[in-house]
Amino acid sequence: MNHSTEAARLRRGVVRLNRRLRHERGDGSLSPNQLSVLGHLHRHGPATPGAVAAAERQRPQSLTRVFAELEAEGLIVREPGTADRRQSVLSLTAQGLGALERDMAERDDWLAGALDTLSPTERGVLELAAALMERLAEAD
């Protein structure tokens, strides 16, 4: 199998799994962009809107509405930067962390049940694949 065939097969599997995980989310769940912003702030700590957008490979203008929604819902706070007070810094609130954890828990419950149907060897292969996909996601 050549690299382009492998890549296409991997992409199809990731897309299908992602679609299934989205389906397992409850009504009123966070949007994918909201999840990515909250997840970034959870993993990396406070950041400027531009830094979040760059890390998520989006334009800051594309996330302006998302930032405003999350702030209005009390899931993030926007404060002036310490070095440059004209620049704002976004931080995850306790309520935002709770919303992120609830959203992830809904999908994790389904995924845990699905993983139980696999053999220990298959689960080990998936664990290795997950680590490799993390490395691919970080590659330039």
Q: Say what the pLDDT of residue 54 is.
A: 94
Reading the block at residue 15, the tokens are 């897309």
pLDDT at 1 over 70: no
The SS3 call for residue 73 is coil
CB count in 10 Å sphere of residue 101: 12
Q: Say what the pLDDT of residue 69 is.
A: 96
DSSP state of 92: E
pLDDT digits (tens, 9 = 90+) for 32-43: 899 999 999 999
pLDDT digits (tens, 9 = 90+) for 74-104: 999 999 877 777 789 999 999 999 999 988 8
Among 8-22, 85-99, 108-122, the minimum mean pLDDT is found in: 8-22
Note every long-range contact of 125-133, with CB atoms under 8 Å and residues 24 or more positions apart, other chains counting.
133/14
Q: How far is residue 98's CA from residue 52's CA, in Å, rounded to a whole number? A: 20
Split at pLDDT 50, 70, 90, the class of 70 is very high
Reading the block at residue 44, the tokens are 């990396």
Summarize the confidence of residues 38-65 as an average pLDDT: 94
Among 16-20, 61-65, 88-92, the minimum mean pLDDT is found in: 16-20
